[in-house]
């Protein structure tokens, strides 16, 4: 199954059975550890994923792998933050670190330090500022206080990034 080594490593020992019923051999070195013979391949994948020393979160796709679904490239440097993201982060970091996103109610406001920072409620403008919030979330510069995407706090990484702007 898996043998934990420190906090970030696990040995995953799986024994497979082929279509003819032949069983793969477990190497002598691993026979002393608990191992599993998954029936369907999906069970094997589940064991592998369970043993990985990671938590689900933002996906960072590797380049050069064909045949897989990919997300649009996430910008990753401070200089590539949108002007809206920069404005939101700077304002929040210079205040109490909180951001209210009231776009969900059709009002179109992002409030920082008690004031709306969106210049107008034009659909294009709203999309740019909402994109700024999403950009900051992808970089983990802000985190959702709840689960509705309405109230955010600047993270440690966000304060560090704001100091460099």
DSSP string, 46-89: HHHHHHSS--S----PPTT--SS--PPPPP-SGGGS-HHHHHHH
Structure tokens at 89: 């982060």
**78-164: CATH number:** 1.10.10
Residues of the chain with CATH 1.10.10: 78-164
pTM tops 0.75: no
3-21 pLDDT, tens digit per residue, is 445 555 567 778 888 888 8
Q: Which tops the pLDDT comparison, 91 or 50?
A: 91
pLDDT of residue 152: 93
Question: Residues 57-109: pLDDT tens digits?
Answer: 655 555 666 665 555 544 445 558 899 999 999 999 999 999 988 865 556 78
pLDDT at residue 91, as a whole number: 93
Collapse the DSSP code of 33 into the 3-class scheme (helix H, G, I; strand E, B; otherwise coil) and give the result.
coil
User: What share of the chain in percent tops pLDDT 90?
Assistant: 22
Q: Which residues of 98-121 are buried (b: 16+ CB within 10 A; e: fewer)?
A: ebebebeeeebbbbbeeeebbeee
**Can you spell out the DSSP letters for 84-136?**
HHHHHHHHHHHTTSEEEE-GGGTS--EEETTEE--S---HHHHHHHHHHHHHH
């Amino acid at each position: 199954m898996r043998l934990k080594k420190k906090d970030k490593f696990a040995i995953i020992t799986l024994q497979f059975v082929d279509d003819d019923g032949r069983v793969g051999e477990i190497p002598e070195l691993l026979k002393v550890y608990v191992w599993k013979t998954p029936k369907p391949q999906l069970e094997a994948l589940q064991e592998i994923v369970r043993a990985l020393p990671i938590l689900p979160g933002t996906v960072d796709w590797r380049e050069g792998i064909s045949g897989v679904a990919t997300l649009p490239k996430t910008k990753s440097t401070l200089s590539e933050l949108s002007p809206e993201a920069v404005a939101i982060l700077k304002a929040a970091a210079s205040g109490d670190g909180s951001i209210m996103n009231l776009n969900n109610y059709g009002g179109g406001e992002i409030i920082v330090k008690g004031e709306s920072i969106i210049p107008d409620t034009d659909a294009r403008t709203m999309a740019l500022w909402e994109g700024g919030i999403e950009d900051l979330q992808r970089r983990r510069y802000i985190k959702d206080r709840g689960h509705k995407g309405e109230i955010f706090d600047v993270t440690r990484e966000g304060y560090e990034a704001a100091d460099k702007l």
